Structure 1
Amino acid sequence: MPRWRWVCFAHAGGSASFFRDWVHALPADIDLLAIQYPGREDRFSEPCLTDMQRLADGAAHALSCYTDRPLVLFGHSLGAVVAYEVAMRLEQRAIAVDHLFVSAHPAPQRQRGGQLHLGPDAALLDDVRRLSDRPNALLENPALCELFLPSLRNDYRIVETYTCTQPRPLKSRIGVFYPEQDPQIEFDEAKAWQAASRQPLHLQRWQGGHFYLVEQRQALIDAIVATLLTLSPSLKETCQ
Structure 2
Amino acid sequence: MPQAYTMSTQPGLYRFTGAPAGANANLVCFCHAGGAPNTYQSWAAPLAGRFQVWAARLNPRDFAELGSTGWDRYAELQAQALLAVDGPITLYGHSMGSIAAYETARALRRLGRDIDRLVVSGRNAPDAEHDHDFPDDPIAMVRAVHDRYGGIPEQLFDEPELMKLFGTAMVADFQTIRAYTHVPGTPLAVPLTVVAGESDPAVTEEGLQAWSAHTNAEFRLERVQGGHFLTDIERPALLALLD
How has the CA–CA distance of structure 1 residues 120 and 151 changed in structure 2, closer, same or farther, with 3 Å as cutoff? closer
What is the Cα deviation at residue 122 of structure 1? 3.2
What is the Cα deviation at residue 135 of structure 1? 4.3
Amino-acid identity (%): 29
Please tell me the root mean square deviation across aligned C-alpha atoms, in Å: 2.2
Q: Following the alignment from structure 1 to structure 2, what is the Cα–Cα distance between the partners of residues 219 and 165?
A: 32
Query: Structure 2 counterpart of 1:32, which letter?
Result: V
Q: Is the 8 A contact 1:112 1:160 kept in 2?
A: no
Q: Is the 8 A contact 2:92 2:118 kept in 1?
A: yes
How has the CA–CA distance of structure 1 residues 11 and 150 changed in structure 2, closer, same or farther, with 3 Å as cutoff? same
Aligned ranges 1:39-78 → 2 under 5 Å: 48-50=62-64, 51-66=70-85, 68-78=86-96
Which residue of structure 2 lines up, in the alignment, with residue 192 of structure 1? 210
What is the Cα deviation at residue 16 of structure 1? 0.7
Which residue of structure 1 lines up, in the alignment, with residue 7 of structure 2? none
Deviations 1:136-158 (A, max 9, x none): 32244112123323321221112
Paired residue for 2:111, among 68, 93, 113? 93
Which residue of structure 1 lines up, in the alignment, with residue 28 of structure 2? 7
Q: Which stretch shows the higher mean deviation, 134-143 or 168-177? A: 134-143
Deviations 1:89-148 (A, max 9, x none): 00111100110000010101114263536x322331122212115643224411212332
How has the CA–CA distance of structure 1 residues 185 and 29 changed in structure 2, closer, same or farther, with 3 Å as cutoff? closer
Query: Structure 2 counterpart of 1:54, which letter?
Result: R
- SS of alignment partner, residue 216 of structure 2: coil
Query: Structure 2 counterpart of 1:48, which letter?
Result: D
Which residue of structure 2 lines up, in the alignment, with residue 232 of structure 1? none
Which residue of structure 2 lines up, in the alignment, with residue 32 of structure 1? 53
Aligned ranges 1:15-164 → 2 under 5 Å: 15-38=36-59, 48-50=62-64, 51-66=70-85, 68-112=86-130, 114-116=132-134, 119-130=136-147, 131-133=149-151, 135-164=153-182
Which residue of structure 2 lines up, in the alignment, with residue 237 of structure 1? none
Query: Structure 2 counterpart of 1:26, which letter?
Result: L
Q: Which stretch shows the higher mean deviation, 84-93 or 152-161? A: 152-161
Consecutive unaligned residues in structure 2, runs of 5 or more = 1-21, 65-69
Q: Is the 8 A contact 1:113 1:161 kept in 2?
A: no
What is the Cα deviation at residue 64 of structure 1? 1.6
Q: Following the alignment from structure 2 to structure 1, what is the Cα–Cα distance between the partners of residues 108 and 134?
A: 31
What is the Cα deviation at residue 57 of structure 1? 2.5
How has the CA–CA distance of structure 1 residues 222 and 56 changed in structure 2, closer, same or farther, with 3 Å as cutoff? same
Q: Following the alignment from structure 1 to structure 2, what is the Cα–Cα distance between the partners of residues 138 and 167?
A: 42
Which residue of structure 1 lines up, in the alignment, with residue 14 of structure 2? none
Q: Is the 8 A contact 2:190 2:218 kept in 1?
A: no
**Runs of 4+ with deviation above 4 angstroms:** none
TM-score relative to the length of structure 2: 0.81
How has the CA–CA distance of structure 1 residues 134 and 20 changed in structure 2, closer, same or farther, with 3 Å as cutoff? same
Higher relative contact order (CA 8 A, sep 6+): 1
What is the Cα deviation at residue 38 of structure 1? 4.8
What is the Cα deviation at residue 203 of structure 1? 0.7
How has the CA–CA distance of structure 1 residues 214 and 134 changed in structure 2, closer, same or farther, with 3 Å as cutoff? farther
Q: Following the alignment from structure 1 to structure 2, what is the Cα–Cα distance between the partners of residues 140 and 111?
A: 35
Q: Is the 8 A contact 2:138 2:164 kept in 1?
A: no
Consecutive unaligned residues in structure 1, runs of 5 or more = 40-46, 229-240
